[in-house]
Amino acid sequence: MNLTSSAEHVKSSTVPFYSLSVPASDYIVNVEIGTPKKEVPLIFDTGSDLIWTQCKPCKAYYPEVPVFDPTKSTSFKALPCSSTQCQLLGQGCSSSKCTYKIAYVDNSSSAGIYATETISFNHLRYDFKSILVGCSNQVSGDSDGQSGIMGLNRSPLSFSSQTANIYNNLFSYCIPSNPGSTGHLTFGGKASNDVKFSPISKTSPSSDYDIKMTGISVGGRRLLIDASAFKIASTIDSGAVLTRLPPKAYSTLRSFFREMMKGFPLSDQDIFLDTCYDFSNYSTVAIPSISVFFEDGVEMDIDVSGIMLQYPVGSKVYCLAFAELDDEVSIFGNFQQKTYTVVFDGVKERIGFAPGGCD
């Protein structure tokens, strides 16, 4: 990387993020790209690697959001197929330019060319030069107002990895409980003493932020879940909404939650959300607390805003905000991370949590 001199002495930087949807699903950071700078809204995603934005000319694009024109940037450099970097990436080539294609678990995708470009944030006084980015000319899926994604996982392609020599491969964020509030994403700095850490799993893919979940409690009672249900570590994913559990863990959680909510009639079930209640006839409702436990004794008491999800939006129906996946994947989503400072420490290979992080 070639960095401006001011960036070489930075210890931490904090940028705001927000959500455009209610309830909040994706969280967006305004990123400036190119020379002169063009502001583009990007989802920050700890579950993926590449930082990309849609570019002109577009074959398929998100409508009504900013589109970057690389021909107007003096710092844009397409990655040539002949470069060692392109060969290491091992993807494809088109018109002598190194190409990429990336797909996500929600069936959305992005395809385009690799390039190096200058990245900055609107209230910071320095630039990150020669950052490897994706310039997308074809996207699929829905947009909540984003032009692309800022990948933050452990892959060398991610923004956090490409700026690791500045920020010591450490970043954190706090998602507020109110979807209309602004959160903060901080690169660098030091973790406070109240952060409790769990080690990144040694058996997980090298690019993922996976830690081992060891248990769940409902209403203060630890559930009897066989240890085999947690054999797959959980990915701490800012780009996924709900926590997705293996079948044994989810069925136990669901059964106990329903037992504690038996005073309320179950509403019609959705294929995905299967524990829902219509609270139309109630002015206040008491719901059981839920806590999640991770390796090394980390206990995370889920904020009340992260236990039940209003569905459909605007209704009086609320559903348990957890879902079943399969035995091979487990995800700890952003809905359950609300109000906590979540710290990703790449140097010490650990993830930490501290309550009250948005205060």
Q: Is 194 a catalytic residue?
A: no
> Residue 254 CA to chain centroid, in angstroms?
25
Q: Output the CA angle 68-25-327, nearest 5 degrees.
A: 115
Per the document, the length of the chain is 359
Q: Which residue out of 49, 208, 210, 237 is catalytically annotated? A: 237
| CA-to-CA dists, residue 174 to 14, 229, 301, angstroms | 11, 28, 15
pLDDT per residue, tens digit, the chain (359 aa), is 344 434 444 578 999 999 877 666 889 999 999 999 999 999 999 999 999 999 999 887 788 899 999 999 999 999 999 999 898 888 889 999 999 999 988 888 999 999 999 999 987 878 999 999 999 999 988 887 899 999 999 999 999 999 999 999 999 999 999 888 999 999 999 988 999 999 999 887 889 999 999 999 999 999 999 989 999 999 999 999 999 999 999 999 999 999 999 999 898 777 789 999 999 999 999 999 999 999 999 999 999 999 999 988 888 999 999 999 877 789 999 999 999 999 999 999 999 999 998 87
Q: What's 253's DSSP letter? A: H
The answer for residues whose C-beta is within 8 angstroms of residue 266's C-beta and 6 or more apart is 258, 275, 276, 277
Q: Is 45 a catalytic residue?
A: yes
Name which of 110, 74, 114 is nearest 92 in CA terms.
Answer: 114
Q: Which residue out of 45, 208, 210, 303 is catalytically annotated? A: 45
At 354, the amino acid letter reads A
Contact yes or no for 295/203 (Cβ under 8 A): no
What are the tokens at 245? 């559990």
Distance CA 255, CA 239 (A): 28
